[in-house]
């Protein structure tokens, strides 16, 4: 136990070196130190160590008549040579597989997205028409030879976005023509 000489506070924590109230260096309390010595003196000597007997050898139980025989213990490396085992047959070479081509589908997707986003500035119907044509060509290639061509989702998205752009431009042109006819009839 430690005590602060200034404020006479006592602390049970052994790790404290300074008083938490005023910051003075703590000193050991002589009364608590003598009690600690008495507490340790009360205990007697520890009991003597007991020597255990050595372990007994393992007793094996007789095997059942249908039980498999235990494997032979491992011997030295040079006692008996291992039997020759032929190597496995080689794997036949099937050639190099190339990834499926998807350039037409990618071009259809890009042109469809360009026609929807930037086509309103200039060239929208041209990009839309090219996206529809390339998307249809890519879908025909994929249907004809699926191992060589791929990218069906991209071709479908390019076809749809190009078609939407063309439909919007056709609707705008029809509206423009109707307005021209109405304007000509009213004048």
Per-residue model confidence as pLDDT tens digits over 19-43: 888 888 888 876 655 555 555 555 6
Q: What is the mean pLDDT of residues 166-178?
A: 93
Selected residue with higher pLDDT from 114 and 81: 114
Closest CA to 132 of 103, 101, 153, 111: 111
Count of domains in the chain?
2
Q: What is the mean pLDDT of residues 59-85?
A: 65
Instruction: Look up the domain containing 130 and give its range.
Output: 103-186
137 within a domain of the structure (yes/no): yes
Burial class (CB in 10 A: 0-12, 13-18, 19+), 128: buried
56 within a domain of the structure (yes/no): no
Instruction: Give the pairing of strands 2-3 and 10-11.
Output: antiparallel
- Report the C-alpha gap between 31 and 33 in whole angstroms: 5
Q: What is the mean pLDDT of residues 79-100?
A: 77
- Note the pLDDT of residue 73: 63
Query: Do 113 and 182 fall into the same domain?
Result: yes
pLDDT at 1 over 80: no
- Percent share of the chain, pLDDT over 70: 80
- Note the pLDDT of residue 156: 94
- Note the pLDDT of residue 72: 64
- For the chain, list the strands marked E by DSSP: 2-3, 10-11, 27-28
Tell me the DSSP string of 38-56: HHHHHS-PPPPPPPPPPPP
55 within a domain of the structure (yes/no): no
* 125 touches 173 (CB < 8 A): no
110 within a domain of the structure (yes/no): yes
* 134 touches 151 (CB < 8 A): no
Residue that has been written with the tokens 């749809």 in this structure: 160
Most confident listed range (62-66, 69-73, 175-179): 175-179
156 within a domain of the structure (yes/no): yes
48 within a domain of the structure (yes/no): no
Residue that has been written with the tokens 């081509």 in this structure: 101
Whether the pTM exceeds 0.75: the reply is no
Closest CA to 138 of 100, 103, 113, 165: 103
């Amino acid at each position: 136990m430690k005590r602060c000489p200034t404020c006479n506070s006592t602390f049970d924590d052994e790790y404290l070196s300074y008083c938490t109230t005023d910051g003075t260096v703590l000193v050991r309390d002589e009364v608590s130190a003598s009690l600690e010595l008495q507490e340790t003196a009360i205990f007697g000597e520890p009991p003597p160590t007991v020597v255990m007997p050595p372990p007994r050898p393992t007793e094996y139980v007789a095997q059942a008549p249908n039980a498999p025989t235990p494997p032979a213990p491992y011997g030295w490396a040079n006692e008996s040579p291992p039997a020759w085992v032929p190597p496995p047959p080689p794997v036949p070479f099937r050639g190099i597989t190339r990834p499926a081509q998807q350039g037409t589908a990618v071009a259809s997707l890009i042109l469809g997205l360009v026609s929807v986003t930037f086509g309103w500035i200039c060239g929208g119907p041209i990009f839309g028409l090219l996206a529809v044509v390339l998307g249809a060509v890519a879908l025909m290639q994929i249907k004809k030879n699926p191992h060589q061509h791929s990218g069906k989702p991209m071709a479908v998205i390019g076809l749809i976005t190009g078609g939407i752009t063309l439909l919007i431009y056709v609707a705008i042109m029809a509206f423009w023509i109707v307005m021209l006819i109405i304007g000509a009839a009213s004048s």
